[in-house]
A and B are shown apart, each in its own frame.
Chain A
């Protein structure tokens, strides 16, 4: 795995982006906007499941509107995140906080997909089931936690 990380760090275009203040700033910008879209829209849907937002709308149409934006955000986050990781892969890979962050992101995505899959059922029920609320709460908490973990990673790894 460390071999792979070393190889990633030496890909010429990755090196070029990592060493350019302008380009790496743009990568960060894309990463920020990616998770603004991803986390912001997911949070609103989760809050709606919890009964704390957008009560004037049914769950399914609200999610229909917001989930495509969350997916676009995820695409941006993965593309930019890959470049950020690859540039200093050997430093990122063994760092515990980084692993914790990735674990939280994967779990949050899993919960998000559970929400997306079950929305039509929850929408038809007279009231949102308690289990649904727990899933939404977990998704919300994991995303907020992932942002914190991501920033702790940045604090741990100098020069990013």
Chain B
């Protein structure tokens, strides 16, 4: 299983376009840029809904309205982030799959946070009908913030291995 995975990663890393991205001057930051610009949209809108569920800005609009308003750009943001993320991975795939921080991020924390996000976003329509959100919504919002912070913590740890 592992050698099979390494084989795939090795091929990924040696795609001509990927090799060019790694060696060309100034190119690599553009990949990071795609990832981080996408993440700004994704996490900016995600955290905004979480904070609303926790109770910030009650007088402006309900959590349901805010969730609706942010929905499209939220997922566009994730799309851009994933595109950048896959490219970042491809540039050093063999190293990444054996990196403990990367494994925890991709294998454990990211799937958890993503699943929780989908759950929270769906539930925000019922939790967010009234200006005051129920206690369970506050807890769910807080928990999502914690989950994304943990995903990002694992991510910034990757270079330390």
Contacts and interface: CB of A to CB of B under 8 A. Distances in A.
Interface stretch (B8-16, B70-78, B91-99, B115-123): B70-78
A62 B43 contact: no
B60 interface: yes
B44 A144 contact: no
B48 interface: yes
A47 interface: yes
Nearest to A67: B57
B69 A43 contact: no
Contacts of A147: 33, 36-37, 40
Interface residues of A, number: 38
B71 to A, nearest CB: 9
What band does the interface of chain B fall in when counting residues whose beta carbon is under 8 Å from A?
35 or more
Contacts of B42: 40
Contacts of B47: 36-37, 40, 69
A115 to B, nearest CB: 16
Interface of B: 26, 28-30, 32-33, 36-37, 39-45, 47-48, 51-52, 56-57, 59-61, 65-66, 68-70, 72-73, 77, 149, 152-153, 156-157, 160
Given A28-B156, A32-B36, 18 more contacts: A25-B156, A32-B39, A32-B152, A33-B152, A36-B47, A41-B45, A43-B73, A44-B41, A57-B69, A61-B61, A65-B57, A69-B47, A144-B37, A147-B37, A151-B32, A151-B36, A154-B29, A155-B26
7 contacts: A33-B43, A43-B41, A43-B44, A44-B45, A53-B70, A69-B51, A144-B37
